[in-house]
């Protein structure tokens, strides 16, 4: 009887732990104070969008932001209402969102404004970060160009280390391409990849991956 009670207590404690962890996980992502570079379905640049604590604003030059909507977050649920004077000011849009590394993915729940749902759910949202950064593992600067790209991208490193391996992953984390850096500039054929966002990781040590957009 005592053993059974102990097992029940452990099971109950485990359930509480799982529920608490799930609650924390659902609220750990937030759009507040983030800026995104948005590309249309043809991978052409559309606009920069910034989320502050209440408003969604946009710009084309990263300088003069204009408020276009109010928004609300509830875990991964996202509700947006355009301000008076904008196209969708009479409509409320509801979505869910997921931030995965440097990409933001919206899923449509309900929005009677097709123009807004096209931009939010169908366009590519990429965190507004530079593509040329210092890799502290190998102490070289990596530059990826062109990006977005159609059939090929080039990986340029200031101080080539022969044989360093790169891996390219899709949004699900599955490896889709693999190769090695053999010179200062390495060509990577991505013609067989489907359109969308990918991540490239150089070397086998832990580190921040770089984003690639296949157009």
Q: Which domains does the chain have, with CATH numbers?
A: 34-127 (2.40.128), 133-214 (2.60.40.1930)
**Per-residue pLDDT for 135 more than 60?**
no
Model-level pTM?
0.52
Note the pLDDT tens digit of each residue in 169-179.
887 778 899 99
Q: Which residues contact 76 (CB under 8 A, 6 or more apart)?
A: 26, 29, 96, 97, 98
Q: Which residue has the tokens 């097709």?
A: 114
Residues 39, 110: Cα–Cα separation, whole Å: 22
Which of 1-15, 45-59, 100-114 is predicted with the least confidence, judged by mean pLDDT?
1-15
What three-state secondary structure class fits 121?
helix
Q: Could you give the angle at the alpha carbon of 14 between the alpha carbons of 30 and 3, nearest 5°? A: 175
**Per-residue pLDDT for 33 more than 80?**
yes
Do the beta carbons of residue 57 and residue 71 sit within 8 Å?
no
Average the pLDDT over 1-17 and give the result: 48
The pairing of strands 185-189 and 196-202 is unpaired
Q: What is the pLDDT of residue 36?
A: 92
């Amino acid at each position: 009887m005592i053993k059974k009670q102990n097992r029940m207590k452990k099971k109950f404690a485990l359930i509480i732990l799982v529920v608490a962890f799930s609650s924390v996980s659902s609220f750990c992502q937030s759009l507040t104070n983030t800026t995104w570079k948005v590309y249309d379905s043809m991978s052409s640049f559309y606009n920069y969008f910034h989320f502050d604590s209440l408003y969604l604003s946009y710009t084309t030059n990263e300088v003069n932001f204009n408020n276009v909507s109010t928004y609300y977050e509830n875990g991964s649920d996202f509700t947006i209402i355009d301000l008076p004077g904008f196209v969708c000011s009479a409509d409320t849009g509801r979505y869910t969102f997921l931030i995965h590394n440097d990409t933001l993915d919206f899923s449509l729940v309900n929005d009677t404004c097709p123009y807004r749902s096209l931009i939010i759910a169908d366009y590519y949202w990429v965190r507004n970060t530079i593509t040329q950064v210092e890799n502290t593992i190998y102490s070289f600067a990596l530059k990826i160009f062109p990006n977005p790209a159609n059939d090929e991208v080039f990986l340029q490193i200031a101080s080539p280390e022969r044989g360093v391996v790169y891996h390219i992953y899709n949004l699900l984390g599955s490896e889709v391409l693999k190769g090695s850096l053999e010179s200062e500039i390495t060509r990577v054929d991505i013609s067989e990849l489907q359109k969308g966002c990918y991540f490239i990781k150089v070397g086998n040590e832990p580190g921040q991956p770089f984003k690639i957009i296949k157009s």
